[in-house]
Amino acid sequence: MQALYKKILQKLNQSQNILILTHPNPDGDALGSSVGLYHILKSWGKNAQLLFSGHIEPRIQFLIEEIKYATSPQNLPKNFDCVLVLDIGDHSRIEHTLQHLSYQLLINIDHHPSNQGFAHLNLVDPQASSTGEILCLLFEHNYTILPLKAAYAFYTAIVSDTGFFSFSNATAKSLATASRLVATGIDTEAIVRHLQRSKPLALFKLEAEYLQQIQFSPHHKIAWGKITEQMCQKYGVNLSEIGGFVEIPRCIQGVEISILFKPSDEDGISKVSLRSNDPQLDVNAFASQFHGGGHTRAAGCTLPYDLKTTEQIIVKHIQEFFQKQKGFPP
C-alpha cells in the first residue's frame, strides 16, 4: 500500500490539469472526499476541477458554498492530465461521463469491497470506513497537518459514512484518523449541525408517512418500506434525500435486515437499499446476485421492474437468504 501511495502522489505532482468526479447524487463521503481533495490540489497550485451530477442534498451543500463546479462533462475542458474517480466501485456509473473526456491517467480511490479495479491506478481499501479516510492517510504522507478546509471536508466524509461512528465500519483506525482531523482546529459542531440538525420539515412529514407503511417478515427479522415518486412530489422532496430512510427500521428491536425500495431516475428501474445488523447476513453478497454491491452491512442494487414487482422479488429472495444463512425463518 505504501508503494501505491507514493506512486499516486508522484503522478498527482506531475499532473497539472486534474478532474475530480464521483457518483451521481453524491452523498456525504463522495462530496466530502471530492471537496477535500480539491482543496489539497488547489493548495499545490494545480488546475483542479470538480464534476458533480444529479442532486446534492441540502444538508451537505455547506461543503460547496464557495466552490465552482461543473454539473456536466459538456461544461468542462476536454483534455485532462489526470481524472480522479472517488467513492465509485462500478465503472458503469461513470462510463458515460468518461466517454466525453480525454485524459492521460485514470485513478480510482474507493472503499467498496465490490470494486474490481477499473482504472490505471486503483487505491481500494475495503477495510477503510470511507473514501475520506483513505485520502487522509494518502495525504498525511505530505503533511504534518492537513489544510483546514481539506480536514473539514474529510471529517464530514468520515462521519457521514460511519453514522458519526455508530456503524460497524467505525474502527480504531477511522477514529484515530478523525482525531487527527479534529486536532487541525475544524469546527465539528458546525458539521453536526449541518448533517444532523437541519432536516427540512417536509422531509419529516415524508418520513412519518413512510413509517406508517413499514412491513415485516413473519418473525419481524426483516423490515422494508418504499418511497414512491408521488410521495416525494406530495412533500416537495427530492428522491436523493431519502437514502437515510433505510436506516430507520434498523433501530427496531429484533430487526436484522432493513430494505428501502425507491424509483430511480430511469423509467422502469427501481433501486433497492439494504442494511444489515448481523455480519452473518452479508447484504453485499445478496446484492451481488442482482448485479449490485457495496459493503457487508450496507449495499444496494437496481432491478428493471416497477416498485411493486421489485419489492415482491427482493422480499421473497431476502427471506430465503436469511433462512439459508441463519437456519431459521425470518
Per-residue pLDDT of the chain (330 residues; tens, 9 = 90+): 889 999 999 999 999 999 999 999 999 999 999 999 999 999 999 999 999 999 999 999 999 999 999 999 998 988 999 999 999 988 888 888 999 999 999 999 999 998 989 999 999 999 999 999 999 999 987 776 788 999 999 999 999 999 999 999 999 999 999 999 999 999 999 999 999 999 999 999 999 999 999 999 999 999 999 999 999 999 999 998 998 999 999 999 999 999 999 999 888 899 999 999 999 999 999 999 999 999 999 999 999 999 999 999 999 999 999 999 999 999
The three grid cell numbers given for residue 148, joined into one nine-digit string: 483546514
Looking at the structure, do residues 155 and 224 belong to the same domain, yes or no? no
Q: Which residue has the cell 495525504?
A: 139
Using CA atoms, how far residue 113 sits from 128, 169, 211, 238, in Å, is 10, 12, 31, 29
Going by C-alpha positions, the residue among 54, 32, 51, 21 that lies closest to residue 241 is: 54
Looking at the structure, do residues 221 and 192 belong to the same domain, yes or no? no
Looking at the structure, do residues 178 and 321 belong to the same domain, yes or no? no
What is the number of domains present in the chain? Answer: 2
Can you tell me whether residue 13 is helix, strand or coil?
A: helix
Looking at the structure, do residues 109 and 231 belong to the same domain, yes or no? no
Pick from 170, 197, 224: which residue ends a domain? 197
CATH code for position 181: 3.90.1640.10
CATH code for position 240: 3.10.310.30
Pick from 139, 171, 197: which residue ends a domain? 197
Looking at the structure, do residues 123 and 49 belong to the same domain, yes or no? yes
- Residue-range definition of the domain harbouring residue 4: 1-197
Strands 102-110 and 215-216, sheet pairing: unpaired
Looking at the structure, do residues 163 and 219 belong to the same domain, yes or no? no
Pick from 141, 176, 197: which residue ends a domain? 197
Looking at the structure, do residues 5 and 153 belong to the same domain, yes or no? yes
Looking at the structure, do residues 163 and 70 belong to the same domain, yes or no? yes
Looking at the structure, do residues 187 and 265 belong to the same domain, yes or no? no
Looking at the structure, do residues 190 and 220 belong to the same domain, yes or no? no
Looking at the structure, do residues 286 and 144 belong to the same domain, yes or no? no
Radius of gyration of the chain (CA): 20
pLDDT at residue 144 in the model: 67
Looking at the structure, do residues 189 and 252 belong to the same domain, yes or no? no
